[in-house]
Amino acid sequence: MFHRLSLLRGRIEPTDPDGDERPSSPVLRFRHYLHRVSYHRHRRSLTRLVSGNVSPFIFRCSPGRRYTEGDNVNSKLCRLCKTTYETPEHVLLSCRRIPDMVTLRTEFLRSTHLDPDLQRSDSHVFELLKSLIFSWELVPVTAKFVHEGLIIWKDTCDIPHIDEHYDDEQE
């Protein structure tokens, strides 16, 4: 079963490596990405992705969405590659039809010591996105990647931008 909040389902909230708390799955907690990500727009893009506020507004399918009997498959396929469902994780980490996204992804994955050329299954890409978001150390660069990836995707698909381009933002 898929859900717009599938990135939050079953997650373990990371804790400060220098602190004495143990990782857990609390319902109410000040989330690590709210204070680890310095740039407001990066934080907002990541929060929108995690909270399911990008599907179906930006992507045709929610994170983790897989084929279900009765699906109108053609309406859910990636607009560009038409090989799998258009989920955030597919667009950000798999689709090879947008050169700017491929370049951004390659730089990002290399910076996190991951092989950008490795072929990954849909379920692996979904779990990879979750692990990048919920990593204490990687969440700032992941938020930047998500933010820039959303801009590239919106530009490519002519989806309107809302508050994404500000040169005067301070860290």
**What global pTM score does this model have?**
0.77
pLDDT one-digit tens code per residue, 13-60: 665 666 666 665 555 555 666 767 788 899 888 888 887 777 556 776
Model pLDDT, residue 105: 96
Query: In this model, does residue 117 exceed pLDDT 80?
Result: yes
CA-based radius of gyration for the chain: 16
162 within some domain: no
Q: What pLDDT, on the 0 to 100 scale, is given for residue 12?
A: 58
Domain containing 39 equals: 32-157
pLDDT in tens, 119-159: 888 878 888 998 898 887 898 999 999 999 999 999 998 88
| Residue 47 resides in a domain | yes
Mean pLDDT across the stretch 107-130?
Answer: 90
- Considering the domain boundaries, does residue 168 fall inside one? no
Counted domains in the chain = 1
pLDDT of 65 higher than 80: no
> Is 97 a domain residue?
yes
**40 assigned to some structural domain:** yes
The answer to whether position 163 is within a domain reads no
At residue 150, φ and ψ (nearest 5 deg) are -65, -40
What's the pLDDT score for residue 67? 63
